[in-house]
Amino acid sequence: MSDFPHTPPRYSATFTPAINAEIRRAAASGIYDIRGAGTKRHLPHFDDLLFLGASISRYPLEGYREKCATDVWLGTRHAKKPIHLDIPVTIAGMSFGALSGPAKEALGRGASAAGTSTTTGDGGMTEEERGHSKTLVYQYLPSRYGMNPDDLRRADAIEIVVGQGAKPGGGGMLLGQKISDRVAMMRNLPKGIDQRSACRHPDWTGPDDLEIKIMEIREITDWEKPIYVKVGGARPYYDTALAVKAGADVVVLDGMQGGTAATQDVFIEHVGMPILACIPQAVKALQDLGMHRKVQLIVSGGIRTGADVAKALALGADAVAIGTAALIALGDNDPALEAEYQKLGTTADAYDDWHEGKDPAGITTQDPELYKRFDPVLGGRRLKNYLKVMTLEAQTIARACGKNHLHNLEPEDLVALNVEAAAMAGVPIAGTNWIPGRGGY
């Protein structure tokens, strides 16, 4: 033995312990990893942007005194009854099936108390959410589980889902363990089987068909309801332009940070674009068509704070949607439940096996023993509080930038901290006039 010291152990940056663990898991199980939530990788995000605030050339508004409005109209292009929301933060589509009935009720309660909308999901409209949602958006999905004209008519808006950020181009699978009698009945399928949600609509393909499909839904609902088209963050310029061409009132654009109830990890982590890269392209499409602010843009995927809301709106969105953040506000992944997360082989703030139906918080489950733990009244109150805080935060920033409405925020208010975020957001790197890809050295 030499007396020289050994080279200390060095982990590979390519074959990290996490990668190796996944190789071993795949080798042992023979199946890819399925999980819930959105991407967990580091991505250029709103954290890489800063507001400049007021200065000699910009006047700020007085906090707590001068009005900074937050309301938004959605569906003003064609609908006889457009939607008016008090705040530009909406609740994204999440299915009954993926979520428990009480969790859907809590989303309706919280959203309504905060003056915003909630959205159904793949599995139809439940009485819990219709009854507790002042403004309810009804999703029209490829699976058409639970779809019927009565619910179309009692919705406040209709969202045709083409894709979602966690898996643009992918369908879904609600695994058998979450298929209770009620979920099975709503989906016209036997209990306990895996329920696949198709990735393509069964009766239209392409933008020309979509235009006819939108017309059909308008005819069924007598042109009253705003019709949204939701797309995942894949080709936002063209998808937005085609949705507008097809007649959408609102485009919903979901970046890859957006969550899912259950999808392959490889899909979540490797398909789609971060929302920061998507918004400017969608806004450009709207501007090129002369439809910015006429067709509204709702963006989602990784919205957590009022700062994120303000930045999304400054880039040109009309509103945002939250999903994962809303679940956390309800109580998902709470460290107070750490002992139970440990039993499931995970830890609070990392729990993502939503598809297994064992959620100790009683939110992503159909197990009555688990979901009765969840108090929808308390959950609704927590969500309302969170939505109010986000709104106040966004107003604080907007006032500092001299804006009397959140929609008056603009890209000129923003700078980026790094090249990637600057290029994606189309704003200069802080302290320079340089927007990568647009010249201006």
Distance CA 51, CA 38 (A): 26
CA nearest neighbour of 281 among 249, 248, 233, 211: 233
Beta strands 135-140 and 157-161 are parallel
> Which span (208-216, 252-260, 291-299, 419-427) binds other proteins, by CB under 8 A?
208-216
- Tell me the closest approach of the beta carbon of residue 157 to other proteins, in angstroms: 17
Which residue in 52, 61, 199, 215 binds other proteins (CB under 8 A)?
A: 215
Dihedral in degrees, nearest 10, Cα atoms 258, 260, 263, 264 = 30
Taking contact as CB under 8 A, which single stretch among the options 66-74, 209-217, 292-300, 340-348 is the one that binds other proteins?
Answer: 209-217
Orientation of helix 206-220 relative to helix 236-246, angle to 10°: 40
Piece in contact with other proteins (CB under 8 A), picked from 4-12, 37-45, 168-176, 297-305: 168-176
- In whole angstroms, the minimum distance from the beta carbon of 194 to other proteins comes to 5
Q: Which of 62, 66, 216, 288 binds other proteins (CB under 8 A)?
A: 216
> Which residue of 21, 198, 266, 336 would you call a contact of other proteins, by CB under 8 A?
198
* Angle at alpha carbon of residue 305, lines to 436 and 297, rounded to 5°: 65
Contact window for other proteins (CB under 8 A) among 194-202, 293-301, 346-354, 420-428: 194-202
With respect to other proteins, which residue has the nearer C-beta, 52 or 189? 189
Identify which range of 4-12, 40-48, 202-210, 249-257 contacts other proteins by CB under 8 A.
202-210
Which position among 204, 267, 354, 386 is part of the footprint of other proteins (CB under 8 A)? Answer: 204
Closer by beta carbon to other proteins, 112 or else 143: 143
- Subset of residues 340 to 379 that bind other proteins, contact rule: CB under 8 A: none
Does residue 181 belong to the site contacting other proteins (CB under 8 A)? no
Among residues 16, 20, 188, 287, which is the contact residue for other proteins, using CB under 8 A? 188
Q: At 301, list the tokens.
A: 């995927």
The residues, ordered by sequence, that sit 6+ positions from 10 with a Cβ below 8 Å of its Cβ are none
Task: Specify the stretch interacting with other proteins by CB under 8 A; choose among 47-55, 102-110, 143-151, 261-269.
Answer: 143-151
Q: Which stretch binds other proteins (CB under 8 A): 171-179, 232-240, 255-263, 359-367?
A: 171-179
Q: Which of residues 219-248 bind other proteins (CB under 8 A)?
A: 219-223
Cα–Cα distances in angstroms (integers) from residue 59 to residues 11, 183, 400, 404, in the given order: 53, 54, 8, 11
Q: How many residues contact other proteins, by CB under 8 A?
A: 34
In the complex with other proteins, the residue whose CB is nearer, 161 or 361, is 161
Shortest distance in whole angstroms from residue 177 CB to other proteins = 10
66 binds other proteins (CB under 8 A): no
Question: How many C-beta atoms surround the C-beta of residue 290 within 10 A?
Answer: 8
Of 196, 270, 372, 438, the residue at the interface with other proteins (CB under 8 A) is 196
Token representation of residue 261: 């109830």
Q: How many CB atoms lie within 10 A of CB 379?
A: 26
Q: Is residue 190 at the binding interface for other proteins, with CB under 8 A as the rule?
A: yes
Question: What is the residue type of 432?
Answer: T
Considering only residues 22 through 41, tell me which ones interact with other proteins, judged by CB under 8 A: 29-31
The residue to which tokens 């109830």 are assigned:
261
Residue from 71, 181, 203, 412 in contact with other proteins (CB under 8 A):
203
Residues that bind other proteins (CB under 8 A): 29-31, 143-144, 147-149, 152, 173, 175-176, 187-190, 192-194, 196, 198, 202-204, 209, 212-213, 215-216, 219-223
